[in-house]
Amino acid sequence: MAALVAAAERAGVARLLTVGTDPASSRAALAAASAHDGVFAAVGHHPSGAGGFGPDEHAQLRELAADPRCRAVGETGLDFFRDRAPRDAQERAFRAHRELAAEVGKPLIVHTRAAEGATLDALADLDGAVPVLLHCFSMPDHLDECLERDYRVSFAGNVTYPGAAALADAACRVPLERLLVETDAPYLAPQAVRGRPNAPANVVHTARFVAERRGISYSELEAAVDRNAFELFGW
């Protein structure tokens, strides 16, 4: 982790949010946040593992979410593409995360894949109770509805891929004050380093791509993303 943080700093990335996908990785995220200045944590249970999400995991998650180093709940959501967990289990876990985010007053990081309508339906009951961040945004056909609901939208390295024209167009349409960029490391390395394991430092490639597509300078996009993350995560 120290090497990843140092490389990110050299690339100009001053703050990182490392994301848990189950109790063990959420604890590891909090430990990393404790060990490194500029690193913060999100705690959650990925929908692909929701079949193992029960009362014990819920209790652990509640305890982890109360830690001041935790700045968001998630990632959580629905993944009907891989379908590694029963859909009713995914929906129960997603509901528990939504309720927890409202309980602790922290933003909700949402994963959705091949489940756009079900995800938006599930989020409707929040009614603005907590900020929602659509991580690794993947539903450009629903962008207007997401914007109407005031969700934050985060783009990962796949927005840079030649075959991702719809995502790139969506990145141009999101209001600058609701836009974020991310790595989803070690996955979805941007085109410039595609084929290698992704790392936090690579987010600059995604940011440069989005800035160019929007017709603004990298420094303008960087300042906006930094401001948006500060407002969302309180760092």
3-class secondary structure, 27: helix
Domain borders along the chain are 2-17+30-233
- What is the pLDDT, as a whole number, of residue 197? 96
Query: Rounded to an integer, what distance in angstroms lies between the CA atom of residue 224 and that of residue 207?
Result: 11
Mean pLDDT over residues 151-158, rounded?
A: 98
CATH architecture of 2-17+30-233: Alpha-Beta Barrel (3.20)
pLDDT, tens digit, 9 for 90 and up, residues 128-138: 889 999 999 99
- What is the pLDDT, as a whole number, of residue 88? 96
pLDDT, tens digit, 9 for 90 and up, residues 184-231: 999 999 999 999 999 999 999 999 999 999 999 999 999 999 999 999
Query: Which string of DSSP letters, residue by residue, matches 178-222?
Result: GEEE---TTS---GGGTTS---GGGHHHHHHHHHHHHTS-HHHHH
- What is the pLDDT, as a whole number, of residue 155? 98
Work out the pLDDT band at 43, boundaries 50, 70, 90.
Answer: very high
Query: Rounded to an integer, what distance in angstroms lies between the CA atom of residue 157 and that of residue 147?
Result: 21
pLDDT, tens digit, 9 for 90 and up, residues 162-190: 999 999 999 999 999 999 999 999 999 99
- What is the pLDDT, as a whole number, of residue 125? 87
**Structural contact between residues 218 and 211, judged by C-beta atoms closer than 8 angstroms:** yes
Mean pLDDT over residues 102-122, rounded?
A: 97
Work out the pLDDT band at 83, boundaries 50, 70, 90.
Answer: confident
Note the Cα 122 to chain centre separation in Å: 17
Query: Rounded to an integer, what distance in angstroms lies between the CA atom of residue 139 and that of residue 115?
Result: 9
Residue whose pair of structure tokens reads 């894949």 in the numeric block: 113
